[in-house]
Amino acid sequence: MTWSRDEMAARAAAELTDGQHVNLGIGIPTLITGHLRDRAIMLHSENGIMGLGGYPLPGDEDADIINAGKETATTVAGSSFFDSAMSFAMIRGGHIEVAILGAMQVSVAGDLANWTDDGARVKGMGGAMDLSVGAKKVIAVMTHRTREGQLKLVRECSLPITARAAVSTVITDIGVFDVREDHFRLREIAPGVPALDPELSRMLRPGR
């Protein structure tokens, strides 16, 4: 009834334009590498790679080439390596067109919460604080609800805010939403999803 993690990644890849420099956060965003074949998109990894490729085939792993999630990865022709200071200078200098990040909550104002201080789940915001401010466009990719059934699209974030008014588009397992200052606009709904629940519908203003 809803998009799988890989289908969400494929839908996020469709938001990208050839020629862009794009940073992929950990989690679902890393799956996007498998949906960019033959695309002229340069992937940036905050641990020091420009020209990140997809996952290696079994037996071809190189322990010295990893993505931001500490998974073995590959590189593409023309790739380069650099230290963390240079990587974040690229981010803070506005040289990354798009950042695609995982999230725990996104508010109607585009506020991003990607970590929690409960010590049990995500223990820090990582590079998302810089990426969500430095990138020209921020796309959040996440499941629509928590394991406990709570909506992740909210009026106000109850978790620590990583960046305010940063997210412009949200892709969940039920659809694509654009942030419009004080509400979400449903742009696309996943095939097979019959209707939105009333709790979310109250935060939508279709057609705007």
Q: Which of 32, 57, 1, 3 is nearest to 175 (CA)?
A: 3
List the catalytic residues.
46
**C-alpha gyration radius of the chain:** 17
Domains, in order of start, for the chain: 5-201 (3.40.1080.10)
pLDDT of residue 123: 56
Digit-coded pLDDT (tens) for 97-140: 999 999 999 999 999 999 887 666 555 667 888 999 999 999 99
Q: Does 191 score more than 50 pLDDT?
A: yes
pLDDT of residue 205: 67
Among 156-160, 170-174, 200-204, the minimum mean pLDDT is found in 200-204
